[in-house]
Amino acid sequence: MKVKVAATQFSMTKVYEENIAKAEEMVRKAAKEGANIILLPELFENQYFCQIEDYSHYLLAEDYDDSKTIKHFQTVAKELGVVLPISFFERSGNCFYNTIAIVDADGTVLGKYRKSHIPTGECYEEKFYFTPGDTGFKVWKTKYGKIGVGICWDQWFPETARCMALKGAEILLFPTAIGSEPVMTIDSKNHWQNTMRGHAAANIMPLVASNRIGPESYGNSSMKFYGSSFIADQNGEKVKELNREEEGILVAEFDLDAIAEERYSWGVFRDRRPDLYGTILKTDDSK
């Protein structure tokens, strides 16, 4: 089966309605170019509020079963016949999660994934807001193939991609929000891309990464998101990439059946030795 995947990249404002409208515009543009699976950035409903610790930001969260964002994009997905992983700030009882809802091409919500790895640090104060996800890594059978979705910080852990691959994923998707690193004073763009390209190559399947762009400020905190959204093929090669400043979409086509044959021929799943991998379950590998 040949499938077209799309990455989107844009800036956000602090006005919810403006962000939803821009996200929909990007989805429509990608669909017009034939995209079947379209990835929006992490937490695109608002600017990245996690820069600072502010209790009022909890008011931005929505219940999964009553999310206006999910409902809006269910309608869009059904109209356009596209698959949409939708990032949103979830409230569940007294807990809050960084969550993705998977909307299939007929508008059906197939389920949700809650971000497993929660970062903390200057400008990335996510532990203040989000409970670590309890869904485990998941894969969904959509109209256009089996997809696995991790969220931003999840992508720095190879176990995320491998677990989704072991569950049968054919395409890996990573919505993200990443930019300046004020504490480390480095440019992490290449490291960020190279890590995910390694996931594509190691698991022999395409990967899509969508990031935001532009400066954003909250209180005394300010950072700039560096975009550089990209699509990698099953060998980890970048086939499409946006720059650090531009808004836009990327679309690439992959033959999932041909890639599956290539993946089987390499034998990387056949030759795994999980009996030897116990070390990664330990916090101290000296024991």
Three-state helix/strand/coil letters over 72-93: HHHHHHHHHCCEEEEEEEEEEC
Joined together, the tokens standing for residue 167 give 């569950």
pLDDT tens figures, 199-219: 999 999 999 999 999 999 998
pLDDT tens figures, 116-164: 999 998 889 999 999 999 999 999 999 999 999 999 999 999 999 999 9
Reply yes or no on whether the pLDDT at 81 is more than 70.
yes
**Helix, strand, coil percentages, rounded to 5, for the chain:** 30, 30, 40
Joined together, the tokens standing for residue 199 give 């996931």
The residue-averaged pLDDT of 244-271 equals 97
* pLDDT value for 285: 58
Longest Cα–Cα distance in the chain: 56
Residue written as tokens 């079963």?
A: 65
| Cα–Cα distance for residue pair 78/83, rounded to 1 Å | 9
pLDDT above 70 as % of the chain: 99
Q: Which residues are tagged catalytic?
A: 42, 115, 152
The residue-averaged pLDDT of 22-51 equals 98
| Cα–Cα distance for residue pair 248/7, rounded to 1 Å | 8
Measuring CA to CA, which residue among 73, 93, 68, 69 is closest to residue 84?
A: 73
Greater confidence (256 vs 279) lies with: 256
Q: Are 220 and 236 in contact (CB under 8 A)?
A: no
pLDDT tens figures, 158-197: 999 999 999 999 999 999 999 988 777 889 999 999 999 9
Is the whole model's pTM more than 0.85, yes or no?
A: yes
